[in-house]
């Protein structure tokens, strides 16, 4: 019964969102990929919000319900018994009576948890600009597809449906993404670290100050212009990719690199995505607990390795879910990386035990490794382990609930 009600609600929302797009004809920017979608959405919003009426999806409003909700209105979260009637009333009202404040630009995030998801979302709103962040060798949600190629094909629908006067903004460093260049008739703009990227990231640094993690610094190069970007409290190469993608979208709208750098000067990542937090005992947490896939896990460990801090480096890592037959291989690889990155390792979840085993096998002392089945059991040992100046990286798939551990460690 409940499933039938959800299906009916989903159908009604889809039709109302389609009618809203038809009624107001907003410009649509769609971001998809397997990592970095939300950060890219946030940076694009930061670059475009000056002087433009924009709306972008909040949280993880990136599926069959979330995308229509974003098109219809600006909602922080789904809560309260009157929420859905209010949504439906508002949708009908603004279809009948013109809403003079409806946004000129919608910045939407399209997720693909299973085959057909992107196709469904494109039936609601087709973009003029499509941004593909990264796919990686072992994509997130690959468990529900026939393989990684099937995931890439699903994501590529976004660029296939762009108009000839649209723009495909592609990650130059991801071969799978760059293969999509042949699948679009739109103009292509590339971003990345590689020589040949149109918006190129150079001189990337992860900075610390007096033993405290500080942020990232890099330059963007485009059309002969070179502009430095200094992002405080922001960590990891994925954030540099997100910034470059946002700058590329800004260029489409006539914003030069200087304007993008100014717009992003105060940018901070949203909760759970490589955000720096003060911890107990004058330590620091890099909270990346929102989700995890092999590509983003490797990037997080690279960040931890590059940091110059006064204390020790502690990695708290949990299961990476929904990667199917790649699970064993992926967790073992992360264990090998952790052995060369962390001074201490805590793992949470049954799959993460393979991380612990392979970290020990590749040189990390067994006395410096602890494994737990559930997050509640890991909290007290983590609290006892931390010392002044330590940096603790926390990362896992959302279902492992490492955000509970973060809450227990922050001040």
* pLDDT band (50, 70, 90) for residue 140: low
SS (H, E, C) 108-145: EECCCCCCCHHHHHHHHCCCCEEEECCCCCCCCCHHHC
Count CA within 13 A, CB hemisphere, residue 182: 4
- Residue 80 CB: number of other CB atoms within 10 A? 9
Q: For residue 276, is pLDDT > 80?
A: yes
Question: Given this model, what pLDDT does residue 209 score?
Answer: 83
Q: For 342-389, where are the alpha helices, taking DSSP H only?
A: 352-361, 375-385
Question: Given this model, what pLDDT does residue 175 score?
Answer: 93
Question: Structural domain boundaries of the chain?
Answer: 2-263, 275-409
What average pLDDT does this structure show over 340-361?
97
- Domain over 275-409 is classified CATH 3.50.50.60: no
Q: For residue 365, is pLDDT > 70?
A: yes
Thinking of the domain 2-263, which architecture would CATH place it in? 3-Layer(aba) Sandwich (3.40)
Question: Given this model, what pLDDT does residue 57 score?
Answer: 82
Question: Given this model, what pLDDT does residue 76 score?
Answer: 75
* pLDDT band (50, 70, 90) for residue 400: very high
What is the percentage of the chain residues whose pLDDT exceeds 90? Answer: 76
Question: Given this model, what pLDDT does residue 137 score?
Answer: 73
2-263 and 275-409 share one fold: no
Cβ 11 vs Cβ 67: under 8 Å: no
């Amino acid at each position: 019964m409940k499933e039938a009600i959800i299906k009916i609600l989903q159908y009604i929302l889809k039709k109302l969102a389609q009618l809203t797009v038809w009624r107001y004809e907003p410009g649509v920017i769609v971001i998809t990929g397997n990592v970095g979608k939300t950060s890219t959405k946030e940076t694009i919003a930061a670059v475009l919000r000056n002087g433009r009426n924009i709306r972008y999806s909040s949280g993880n409003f990136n599926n069959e319900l979330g995308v229509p909700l974003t098109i219809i209105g600006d909602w922080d979260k789904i809560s309260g018994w009157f929420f859905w009637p209010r949504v439906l009333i508002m949708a009908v009202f603004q279809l009948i009576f013109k809403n003079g404040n409806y946004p000129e630009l919608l910045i939407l995030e399209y997720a693909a948890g299973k085959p057909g998801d992107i196709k469904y979302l494109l039936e609601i709103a087709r973009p003029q600009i499509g941004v593909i962040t990264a796919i990686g060798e072992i994509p997130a949600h690959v468990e529900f597809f026939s393989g990684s190629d099937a995931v890439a094909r699903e994501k590529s629908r976004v660029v296939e449906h762009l108009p000839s006067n649209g723009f495909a903004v592609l990650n130059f460093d991801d071969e799978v993404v760059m293969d999509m260049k042949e699948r679009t008739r739109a103009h292509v703009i590339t971003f990345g670290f590689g020589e040949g990227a149109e918006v190129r990231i150079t001189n990337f640094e992860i900075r610390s100050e007096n033993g405290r993690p500080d942020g990232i610094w890099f330059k963007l190069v485009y059309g002969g212009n070179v502009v430095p970007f200094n992002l405080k409290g922001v960590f990891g190469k994925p954030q540099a990719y997100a910034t470059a993608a946002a700058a590329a979208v800004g260029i489409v709208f006539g914003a030069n690199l200087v304007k993008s750098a100014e717009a992003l000067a105060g940018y901070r990542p949203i909760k759970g995505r490589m955000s720096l937090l003060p911890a107990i005992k004058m330590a620091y947490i890099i909270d990346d607990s929102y989700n995890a896939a092999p590509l983003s896990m490797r990037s997080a460990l690279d960040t931890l390795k590059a940091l110059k801090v006064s204390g020790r480096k502690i990695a708290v890592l949990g299961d990476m879910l929904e990667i199917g037959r790649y699970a064993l291989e992926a967790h073992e690889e992360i264990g090998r990386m952790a052995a060369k990155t962390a001074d201490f390792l805590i793992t949470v979840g049954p799959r993460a035990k393979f991380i612990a085993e392979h970290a020990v096998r590749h040189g990390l002392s067994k006395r410096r490794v602890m494994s737990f089945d559930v997050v509640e059991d890991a909290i007290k040992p983590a609290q006892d382990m931390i010392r002044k100046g330590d940096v603790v990286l926390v990362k896992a798939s959302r279902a492992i609930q490492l955000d509970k551990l973060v809450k227990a460690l922050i001040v």
